[in-house]
Structure 1
Amino acid sequence: YNQICIELAECPEVYAPIYMRTEDGEVLLEDFANGFFTAMHLDMDAWKPFVSDRDFGLPLAAILGQSTIIDGTSWIDQLQDPLANQALADTWRMIPQIISFIHDQCAFARTLTVH
């Protein structure tokens, strides 16, 4: 976590998440999304203001839509819509920019002092 924060603060353009891939090279974003969602659960109350903000919530939904933690089926699979599935299939390409955006938007929360 600290290494990722340092990288995003100092050189965000080099941030590259590690994805699971199929033997054919297809990116499986599920593990990344599940890890992200699991980390959010460490302090869901802290995430509430961000999730309710439209500018922040939509990029966050792009990640969480890939998660299978809640019932084992991602939003993509639940949609059962080929056009929606196709539109969301390339979400993995946007993750570095989304994570950089989230990092920047949450900067003030990380600098708060707890008394």
Structure 2
Amino acid sequence: MYAAVVDFRTDGQVEAVLDSALVTDAFWSHAHRDDGLEHVRIAVSPNGLSAAVFIAAVDAHAAAEAALALAWRLVTAVPALAGWYVESCAVLSNSARSGDPGKPGGPGGSDTGTGAGDGTR
């Protein structure tokens, strides 16, 4: 399992405060079986929100792709997220327990990030 952090921001036209329970429910209701979603934690701030999503995937790249696809699905389908965009998505290093030091998520692995908007990570 991989942990990815997805950052959402507004386009400046809407208020940047949302209920974290609403966003959590949106993740679960819009997740597809192939997304591999296992857990979600939301942190809301005046600047936007961050979602820590835990994804069952074969590698960090697949986890980043699944987290990013799900995040964009939310901003295009959930009315409460109209005016929001995905700023970045990054899989945390060592979030999968692999014994291979050369693999992402294993000892010595590296972050796999996907720049998704104005910022990159």
RCO (CA 8 Å, sep 6+): is it higher in 1 or 2?
Answer: 2
Which structure has greater strand proportion? 2
Q: Same fold (TM over 0.5)?
A: no
TM-score (norm 1): 0.31
Which structure has greater helix proportion? 1
